Structure 1
Amino acid sequence: MIRFLNVKRTFKPFAFTFCSYLICSNVVAQALTEQQNVEHQFTPMQVRVPVGDKYDWLQLNSNELLKGKIKHLYGNKLEFKSDQLGTLIVDWEDVIVLQSRGAVSIGFSDLSTRSGRLLIQDGHGYLDGVVFNLNDIITIIAGEPHEANYWSSTMSLGANLRSGNNDQIDYSAKARMIRRTTESRFRTDYLGNYSKSGDEKTTNNHRVNSFFDWFLSNQFFLRPVFVEYYTDPFMNISSRITLGSGVGYSIIDTAKTEWSISGGPAYTMTNFKEVELGEDDNESSGTLFVDTTFSTELTDSIDFNADYRMQLGNQNSGGYTHHAVTGIVVELTDMFDLDLSLVWDRSSNPRAETDGQVPERDDFQLIIGFGVDI
C-alpha cells in the first residue's frame, strides 16, 4: 500500500510535465504554421508587374495579375482581353496597376486628349513618365490617336428567295457607321427593305439619317446638324427630307449601357407619289423632333438596342410621325452577328392617293439578318 502511494505521488508530477509538453508543442506547431502561411501571402506591393514586356498588364485589388491587351476604358468600366480568360469588363475602382506595352490615347475630363505609354500604380497615373490625376480620366483607347481608331461600323443583310408557284424576293439591309472621340460623335444609319412577288413590288422603302454631336461636358452635347432622307412609295412618300439642329443629354454612358435623348426644331420637305385632284404633290413645314437611343449588353454575347425618333409637323406633312427600331444582336463570332429587329413606322395623317385610297397609318417589319462588325 505504501509502495502504491509512492508510485502515485511520483506519477502526478510526471503526468503534469507530459501534458504541459504536449500543449506547448501544439502551440509552437500552430505558431510555426501561421508564420509559414503569412510568409506565403502576397500583398499588392509584393507582386511586381514585368517591365518592358510584350503584353499589357492588369492587377486587381484582389492581387490577381493578368496579362493581355487593353481594349478601352469607358464609363468607369475597363475592357481588358486576357490571354486565358477572354474579354473581361472590370470596374475601374478595382484596378490598382495598369501598364500598357505601347501607346494609348486618354481622354480627360477637360475634353482634352493625350497619348503615350501608360502606367498606373500606387494611386498615381503616368503618361510617358508625366504624372496626372487618375480622377481626370474619362476614356482610354488602345493605340495612337490615328483616324482609324475613331471609326467603327456594322452591317447586316437579310434575304428570302422563293421560286415555284410563287416567285418572291425579300431583301433587307441595316448599316451603322460611327466616329467617336472625346469631344464629338458622328453617326450615320441606313435601313432598307425591298420585296417583289412575281413582277409586282410589294415593299420598297429606304431611310438614311445622320447627325453630328459636339460634347459640351460629359453629359450635355450640342447637335448642330442632323439630316434624314426617307422614301416609301407604298406610304405615298416619294421622298421626305428633314434638316434640323438641337441639344441632347447622355442619361447613361457606361461600357455596357448607353442612353441619350435629344431634341430641337427642324424643317421637313415632302414629295408625295400621288395626290388627289387639286392637291399639291409637295409640302414643307417646320417640325419639332425628339430622338432617343438606348443600347445595353444583356450578356457577354447578346446586346439589346432601341431607337425612337418622333417628328411633329402640320397635318399636310403627315402630322405626328415616328420611326422606332428595337431588337437584339447575338454575337456568333468576333466578327459575325445575328440581328433580329422590329421596325414600327407611323404617320398620323397619311396623304391620300389619286384614287382616294389612304395608306395605312402603321407599318411593321420584322428583320432577320446576319451582320458583320468592321
Structure 2
Amino acid sequence: MSNKTKRHLLSHVTIGLILPLSSTVQAQSVVSEPHGSAQHAPAQLFPPADSSYDWVQLSSFEMLKGEIKNLYDDRLEFKSDELDTIFIDWEDVLVLQSHDVISVGFTDLTTKTGLLRLQRDKLYIDDQVFDRSQVMTLISGEQTESNYWSSKISLGANFRSGNAEQVDYSAIANAHRRTTESRFNLDYFGNYSKSEGVNNINNHRLNSYFDWYLSKQFYLRPIFAEIYLDPIKNIQYKATLGFGLGYDILDTPKSDWSISGGPAYTFTKFDNVATDASDNDGSGALVVESAFDTELSEDIDFNALYRVQHGNDKSGGYTHHALAGFSIELTDMFDLDLSLVWDHTNKPQADSGGVTPEKNDYQFIIGFGIDI
C-alpha cells in the first residue's frame, strides 16, 4: 500500500466491471476502439442519473463502478467490494462521474463542492465548467474532519526471559490531515530496550508541522516543532520551534520529493551535568528537511527522510536524523515495515561523570504496520 497514498485519506470502496444494461452493445464498441478515435454521447458512457455508484472510465475505455475517495499527487483513489481499493493515475482517467457531492481543490487554491462530472479535458461541478488542468485535489463528500484524516501505527517488540532477561520495543506512528489547501502532519518515533535490569536504549522523537499551499508545489510552513528525549545521550529533552518554506521538487503519480526548512529556536535540558555547569541551553538554529518516497511496485514502497539541524556547540552543533525504509503491503490494512535509522550529534555533551556519549546511533527496526 503506497505511503504516498496513505499520507492522504484511506477508506474502502466498491468497483465492478459493470456497464449500463441499456447501452451494453454501444459500450462494447467503445472499449474496442482506440483512444481518441471517436466522440461519444454521455448516454453511451454514463449509467442512469439515479445510480448509487460513482463511475470512472479509463483511457482504455474500461469502465468501473464504485466510490471516489480522493485525488492527491495526481493519483485517484477508487474503492470496490470486488477489486478493493485501487489507485489510478490521473492522466489515465477519461471520464469520472460522482453520485454524491465531491470537494474539488483547484490550483488557484479555491474549493468547489457539488456533483462532479469529468469528460476528457472538462470538469463540471453542478452547472459550472472548469478546465481539467486546474484540478489539484479531490475529497469525497463535504469538507468535514472525518474526510481529512488518516493514520498509521507500526510496532515491533522482543521479549526474552530465562538465562537472559531482555525487553525491546519500537514504535513508529503517523497522523496526517489533508485538505484541498493545507496539510498537518504528526510523527512519533520511539525505542526502548532493557537488558538484565539495565536500560540501554530509551529515546523518543515527536515531530509536527503545518503547511499552507501557495501554489501546487510551493507552500508556507508557518510552524514546525520537534521534541526529542534521550537521557542515555544526556538529553532530558530538546525542544525546537520554527517556521519556514517548502517546495515539492518531484510530484508524480508514483514518487514525491520535497524540501523545506527555516530558522528555529532550540532549547535543551540536560539529564545530568557537572556541579559547576549549566543544565540547560537555548540558541537559534537552522533546520532543513528533505523527504522522498516512491512506489517500487504495486505492493512495495520506499521512503526516506533526512532532517538537519545546526545550532551552537552546547545544543549539539550539527545534528541530523535520517530514516530509510520499505513498506510491504500484506493486506489492505496491514503492512510489514523495515526501517534503518541513523541519528548523529556532532557535539554531544558530557554528563556529570565526564562521560561523553557516542556521536552516532544506528537502528534497524522490523515493525508490523496498521493503517487506520
TM category, shorter: 0.7 to 0.9
Contact 1:44 1:63 in 2 (8 A): no
Matched, 1:346 2:353: no
Is the radius of gyration larger for structure 1 or structure 2? 1
Contact 2:31 2:62 in 1 (8 A): no
Which residue is 1:32 aligned to?
A: none
Contact 2:228 2:237 in 1 (8 A): yes
Hey, what's the Cα distance between the residues in 2 that align with 1:366 and 1:164? 25
Matches within 5 A, 1:126-275: 126-275=124-273
Contact 2:234 2:271 in 1 (8 A): yes
Query: How far did 1:40 drift?
Result: 11
Query: How far did 1:87 drift?
Result: 4.2
- With over 3 angstroms needed to count, the CA separation of the structure-2 counterparts of 1:162 and 1:108, relative to structure 1, is same
Hey, what's the Cα distance between the residues in 2 that align with 1:312 and 1:193? 24
- With over 3 angstroms needed to count, the CA separation of the structure-2 counterparts of 1:57 and 1:280, relative to structure 1, is same
2:315 to 296, 314, 317: 317
Pick 1 or 2: higher relative contact order, CA cutoff 8 A, min separation 6. Answer: 2
Contact 2:170 2:190 in 1 (8 A): yes
State the one-letter code of the partner of 1:315. Answer: D
Hey, what's the Cα distance between the residues in 2 that align with 1:118 and 1:40? 23
Contact 1:170 1:196 in 2 (8 A): yes
- With over 3 angstroms needed to count, the CA separation of the structure-2 counterparts of 1:41 and 1:320, relative to structure 1, is closer
State the one-letter code of the partner of 2:200. Answer: T
Which residue is 1:67 aligned to?
A: 65
SS in 1 for 2:314: helix
1:45 to 33, 40, 44: 40
Could you give the per-residue CA deviations for residues 72-98 of structure 1, whole angstroms, max 9, x where no partner exists?
Answer: 223333333356555444333333221
SS in 2 for 1:316: coil
Contact 1:336 1:371 in 2 (8 A): yes
Aligned residues: 338
Query: Please, what is the CA RMSD of the aligned residues?
Result: 2.2
Which residue is 2:299 aligned to?
A: 301
- Identity between Structure 1 and Structure 2 (%): 56
SS in 2 for 1:139: strand
Hey, what's the Cα distance between the residues in 1 that align with 2:57 and 2:296? 26
Query: How far did 1:130 drift?
Result: 2.6
1:105 to 103, 107, 112: 103
Which residue is 2:93 aligned to?
A: 95
Hey, what's the Cα distance between the residues in 2 that align with 1:93 and 1:225? 34
Could you give the per-residue CA deviations for residues 3-62 of structure 1, whole angstroms, max 9, x where no partner exists?
Answer: xxxxxxxxxxxxxxxxxxxxxxxxxxxxxxxxxxx9996655163321222222112232
State the one-letter code of the partner of 1:50. Answer: P
Query: How far did 1:210 drift?
Result: 0.9
Hey, what's the Cα distance between the residues in 1 that align with 2:357 and 2:120? 67
Matched, 1:326 2:347: no
Query: How far did 1:331 drift?
Result: 1.4
Hey, what's the Cα distance between the residues in 1 that align with 2:135 and 2:153? 32
Which residue is 2:10 aligned to?
A: none
Contact 2:333 2:370 in 1 (8 A): yes
Q: Gapped runs of 5+ residues in structure 2?
A: 1-28
- With over 3 angstroms needed to count, the CA separation of the structure-2 counterparts of 1:165 and 1:40, relative to structure 1, is closer
Q: Comparing both structures, which one devotes a greater share of its residues to helix? A: 1
